[in-house]
Structure 1
């Protein structure tokens, strides 16, 4: 299916479905290790006083993305050398524990002026008073450019806009074609049982050389499942973060079905040893070295293997397997509503907006798409942008099996989150139904309390049909 036709005719229509609730999961997650740029200091970040005309304004910009950092550095260097407003932007990449780092920075009055936002943290940051509304800055041209893309509960809260969209991420199975061929596997698995079987065959073939069939970044189980189970469930017709859109309640029953197959791969010895301490970048390094048969992740991976971990292996992306080999739903496009936000306590908000204007310019957004860092959801960009030329990106492009899903309530239960609870079951076993019942009880209790406080809005949709999310 033509990529631009899918975006132009189907994706924007699906965006309208994503307004039923607040919060939502993210895709990329904050799982990467901190990068090389130095953190901001108190001298770099001012949170009191007003901007003074003619003075040099140093802005700090924090992000939790690694895949696009070289391009972002180029953009910042160009902005710093060409803007006429004496503005200089300094980039800091803090991927691991990003949200906690932001909290600490605000608590110590050393927060950045500009923040990378995702659907999983925008609402949280807004409620904590971290983010400045952008409405007073938005020109008629920008309002027209993003018309139909601003979503309640994603980038707009209580009628105010806190971020603007750029691109979305697709989720795919990433697999080593060379290892598949050597292990006698004809192609990517269609069902979870196929995936279990393929992982075992690859491990049997290559174990003596340190090659294993499957891996995930289980150092952070929730992040690992958000880039794997989420995709499998959405294609199987279930919301991928454990929320039942029909009832407006959490139900981890479908989730547990996927976990059983993951546990089987663990018992088969098909998962890379030490995966419980594996972060995403070390996993990528192992995959680039030809030691992992397959894993699941975002459309950031082609950029990673082009710039961060160049590799000579033949690899590709494919739709994830489903519970029974049938695609009942769609692959969820994630992190599609937000990109950059401004610190509400910054003394340089006007300068920060000038940088944001630069970052949201057509040529920047077009290049971001064409370089393969994200798939544009802005119609005016998608219509004219060329398909990314990044090797491997062809397997991640938006097609007829991709769409946005309604967002999930963003709540925090007491006790272990579902990622930790299910990963413990994979490692130690136990009563899976008891794990599900406990998760359902704790998550729905937290949901009920959040609704009572007015922090979350839930609208059950008994008629929800995942097949209707498909782009036309």
Structure 2
């Protein structure tokens, strides 16, 4: 098995150069969906697979090597795209160099652009039954057709350095936003000798940075709100974020945030955390794999359920119903690509994936046979009564229609520079509801109010 790790500039320039020299014709062996339909000797069908995931790359490499060994007529080649995955996929399709199988990271957009093949006719009755209760519209299906299946879910936690906590006299994670702000200051003040700070976020990716913090805190607080969207009312209401926004601003004013957070991406943040320079940050259940393989660390770290607005857990931490991989609608290698996809979704592969700590499965038959992961740090990422599956919010469709500054940039500007939090949130609410209306009119989302939605009633729905 060949594995390529492509940086953004390399992958994009490669796609452009291939576009310049390819014929783009549907009868060409390098036609859309099949950069190389067969290996040079013609004996093997070559299946290309693109992924954005780096934390599990070594494991997936070994999985593909096993698949290739057991299927001598097929050769799967994996490419790990370092950044700007969606843009790379767009360019690959535009230049007739798209992979046969790829991560469905921007699901609705990929479907609407015609990138994905419906899987319904390929799935056996057993496979349909296996996933039937997990399928979610605009995450796995669109207009009644299935394009990608569930696999793992991202369980969100506060991640913290126990050594820095102890030095600051802190014995447990914060339970409220106010405590989190206070803890960040105490950690910073107590660890000036080692240059450590209480809190950090990957603010270079503004939208990602804010949702990593806001979604778990707000959903566990019971606001019924994800990405600013209230599932109960079917409208955006950013006003609930005010205590969090003001708390993050206070950490910046206090000097409790790692300097340079405005230009910090997630991997540099992880590197700083692994080096013992950050007291707290938010991320998901892929982190144990990161600190075992990508950024090995000797620090004493752990994770915990996020704090809430007032310490009450009136909801559940949102585990967004997810998708995994899909097939290029125009692949010339459908049979081989589907065989590979079936293998990737198999209990065998997914069981080992969880046991090695790369992710937590949301598929019952995987959880029923998987042993407790042995990877350090995974314990408090496992599902609790306070974790529950949520349908995707209509954020992607909405933001495509929103005029003006998007949520991430607006809130990060406030955190870094200050201002009127209420005014910022009111403006976002107005503009995002206008964007949602346009998205519905365009048929880009079917999001609707769910008056029966109760985040507290979801407690216990995922725990074993």
TM-score by length of 1: 0.88
Instruction: Provide the C-alpha distance between the structure 2 equivalents of 1:165 and 1:60, rounded to a whole number of angstroms.
Output: 21
**Residue 152 (1) aligns with residue 129 (2):** no
Of the three residues 441, 452, 457, the one matched with 1:468 is: 457
Does 91-100 or 256-265 show the bigger shift? 91-100
Of the three residues 256, 259, 266, the one matched with 1:273 is: 259
- Unaligned runs of 5+ residues in structure 2 are 23-28
**Residue 143 (1) aligns with residue 132 (2):** no
1:90 aligned counterpart, secondary structure: strand
Of the three residues 100, 106, 109, the one matched with 1:113 is: 100
**Residue 457 (1) aligns with residue 453 (2):** no
Of the three residues 42, 45, 70, the one matched with 1:82 is: 70
Whether the aligned pair in 1 keeps the contact of 2:8 and 2:81 (CA below 8 Å) is: yes
**CA shift at 1:323, angstroms?**
0.9
**Residue 349 (1) aligns with residue 334 (2):** yes
Of the three residues 316, 324, 335, the one matched with 1:339 is: 324
**CA shift at 1:36, angstroms?**
12
Of the three residues 34, 48, 64, the one matched with 1:60 is: 48
Residue 126 to residue 70, structure 1, CA distance change in 2 (3 Å): same
Instruction: Provide the C-alpha distance between the structure 1 equivalents of 2:30 and 2:250, rounded to a whole number of angstroms.
Output: 50
Instruction: Provide the C-alpha distance between the structure 2 equivalents of 1:429 and 1:385, rounded to a whole number of angstroms.
Output: 48
Of the three residues 408, 429, 432, the one matched with 1:443 is: 432
Of the three residues 277, 296, 309, the one matched with 2:295 is: 309
Whether the aligned pair in 2 keeps the contact of 1:36 and 1:93 (CA below 8 Å) is: no
Tell me the residue number matched to 1:417. 406
Whether the aligned pair in 2 keeps the contact of 1:232 and 1:240 (CA below 8 Å) is: no
Residue 414 to residue 349, structure 1, CA distance change in 2 (3 Å): farther
1:227 aligned counterpart, secondary structure: helix
Tell me the residue number matched to 1:402. 387
Of the three residues 151, 160, 173, the one matched with 1:188 is: 173
TM-score by length of 2: 0.89
Instruction: Provide the C-alpha distance between the structure 1 equivalents of 2:307 and 2:134, rounded to a whole number of angstroms.
Output: 30
Does 63-72 or 430-439 show the bigger shift? 430-439
1:333 aligned counterpart, secondary structure: strand
**Structure 1 residues 232-260: Cα deviation after superposition (integer angstroms, max 9, x where no partner):** 11111122310112221111111232111
Whether the aligned pair in 2 keeps the contact of 1:216 and 1:278 (CA below 8 Å) is: yes
**Structure 1 residues 61-93: Cα deviation after superposition (integer angstroms, max 9, x where no partner):** 1111111111111111222232132x2122111
**CA shift at 1:46, angstroms?**
3.4
Instruction: Provide the C-alpha distance between the structure 2 equivalents of 1:48 and 1:226, rounded to a whole number of angstroms.
Output: 33
> How many residues are paired up?
437
- Unaligned runs of 5+ residues in structure 1 are 1-31
Of the three residues 236, 252, 270, the one matched with 2:238 is: 252
**CA shift at 1:33, angstroms?**
9.3
Tell me the residue number matched to 1:24. none
Instruction: Provide the C-alpha distance between the structure 2 equivalents of 1:168 and 1:462, rounded to a whole number of angstroms.
Output: 25
Whether the aligned pair in 2 keeps the contact of 1:37 and 1:93 (CA below 8 Å) is: no
Tell me the residue number matched to 2:365. 380
2:313 aligned counterpart, secondary structure: coil
Tell me the residue number matched to 2:353. 368
Instruction: Provide the C-alpha distance between the structure 2 equivalents of 1:465 and 1:359, rounded to a whole number of angstroms.
Output: 34
**Residue 98 (1) aligns with residue 78 (2):** no
**CA shift at 1:56, angstroms?**
2.5
What is the aligned-residue RMSD (CA, Å)? 2.2
**Structure 1 residues 268-291: Cα deviation after superposition (integer angstroms, max 9, x where no partner):** 000000111111111111111111
Q: Which has the higher contact order (CA 8 A, sep 6+)?
A: 1
Instruction: Provide the C-alpha distance between the structure 2 equivalents of 1:356 and 1:222, rounded to a whole number of angstroms.
Output: 31
Whether the aligned pair in 2 keeps the contact of 1:149 and 1:337 (CA below 8 Å) is: no
Whether the aligned pair in 2 keeps the contact of 1:232 and 1:320 (CA below 8 Å) is: yes
**CA shift at 1:112, angstroms?**
1.5
**Residue 427 (1) aligns with residue 416 (2):** yes
**Structure 1 residues 281-326: Cα deviation after superposition (integer angstroms, max 9, x where no partner):** 1111111111111101000000101111111111101001111111
